[in-house]
Amino acid sequence: MLNLAWTWQRFAELGVDNLYDLLALRCRVFILEQGPYLDPDGVDRHSWHLLGRDEAGEARACLRLVDPGIKYAEPSMGRVVLDKALRGSGLADQLVAEGLARADAAWPGHGNRISAQAHLQRFYGRHGFASIGEPYIEDTIPHIQMWRPPCTP
């Protein structure tokens, strides 16, 4: 399996090159693969960002952790992206595990609320999330709210 080097940064610390690479990766997946919508939503400025690069330095995975009180009362993991060529490799599980470990460290005792694409409920369920409520349409794609309770030490 390909190993990725993970780096965490707040938005203001990303720098021009990391920001460009992060947005280009998100654009390839969320806009070119899934259809047009406005990715820059103002929430990035209030988030931690995880970027995974391969041995050649290419950005291949990313996600953001939104601070509590911005999107939901709780922290929220979102914009979870893995390069299409790497899907099915197990790296998506690594990516989410990295995100949840950071959330637990940054906001101990808090759960995590997400707006997940509905077809990914089983995937997020493997990471401790449970569906809440009914599916809804967000950016023309069925989504469902999911909740992961706080980790106990």
What are the residue boundaries of the structural domains of the chain, listed by start?
5-110
Helices (H), the chain: 15-26, 91-106, 121-125
Number of Cβ within 10 Å of residue 124's Cβ equals 21
Q: Are 57 and 66 contacting, i.e. CB atoms less than 8 angstroms apart?
A: no
Between CA 62 and CA 58 the distance in angstroms is 12
Q: Are 79 and 29 contacting, i.e. CB atoms less than 8 angstroms apart?
A: no
Please check whether the domain covering 5-110 is classified as CATH 3.20.20.140. no
Secondary structure of 109-140 in HEC code, one letter for each residue: CCCEEEEEEHHHHHHHHCCCCEEEEEEEEECC
Between CA 96 and CA 6 the distance in angstroms is 12
Q: Which residues pair with 66 in a beta bridge?
A: 47, 76
Section 19-26 average pLDDT = 94
pTM: 0.91
- With CA atoms as reference, report the closest residue to 68 among 86, 89, 85, 43: 43
Look up residue 81 and give its DSSP letter.
E
Quote the percentage of the chain above a pLDDT of 70: 98
The phi and psi torsions of 139 (rounded to 5 degrees) equal: 55, 45
What integer pLDDT is reported at residue 153 of this predicted model?
Answer: 62
pLDDT at 139 over 90: no
Section 45-67 average pLDDT = 96
Q: Are 50 and 62 contacting, i.e. CB atoms less than 8 angstroms apart?
A: yes
